[in-house]
Amino acid sequence: MHELSIAMSIVDLVEEEMAVRGVEVEAVHLKVGLLSGVVKDALLTSYEMACMQTPLEGSRLVIEEVPILVDCPNCKVRRPVLSVQWFRCSECGTPTAEVVEGKELIVTALELRQ
């Protein structure tokens, strides 16, 4: 359950942005890769707790999940993997660890209070 410390990092980061930009935030948009090690539901619950008694209390966390893409050494293109437990090109089955997408944990945008 490291989601709470991640939620607190998100709150810190957004509070900094709010101060710099002089805005109020209604929702935080976050990209979460399937290899980021973060469980979406646990993060949503933690976010609510992390926001308590901060300027973000009552704000929403909007999570966009990012699928895993690898560079297939055989097909020479980016492909999805068969599954998290089956790290092979979904087309030709070649094993590969060259992950190009799916590790993200990025705050992408802030929805401002009108």
User: Where along the sequence are the contacts to other proteins (CB under 8 A)?
Assistant: 1-2, 6, 9-10, 13, 17, 21, 23, 26-27, 29-30, 37, 105-112, 114
Distances, alpha carbon 96 to alpha carbons 26, 34, 36, in Å: 40, 16, 18
Residue 2 phi, psi (nearest 5): -90, 5
Residue 1 or residue 53: which is nearer to other proteins going by CB? 1
Min dist CB 40 to other proteins, Å, is: 14
Residue 45 or residue 90: which is nearer to other proteins going by CB? 45
Residue 9 or residue 94: which is nearer to other proteins going by CB? 9
C-alpha 87 chain-centroid distance: 20
- Going by C-alpha positions, the residue among 36, 35, 13 that lies closest to residue 25 is 13
Min dist CB 79 to other proteins, Å, is: 22
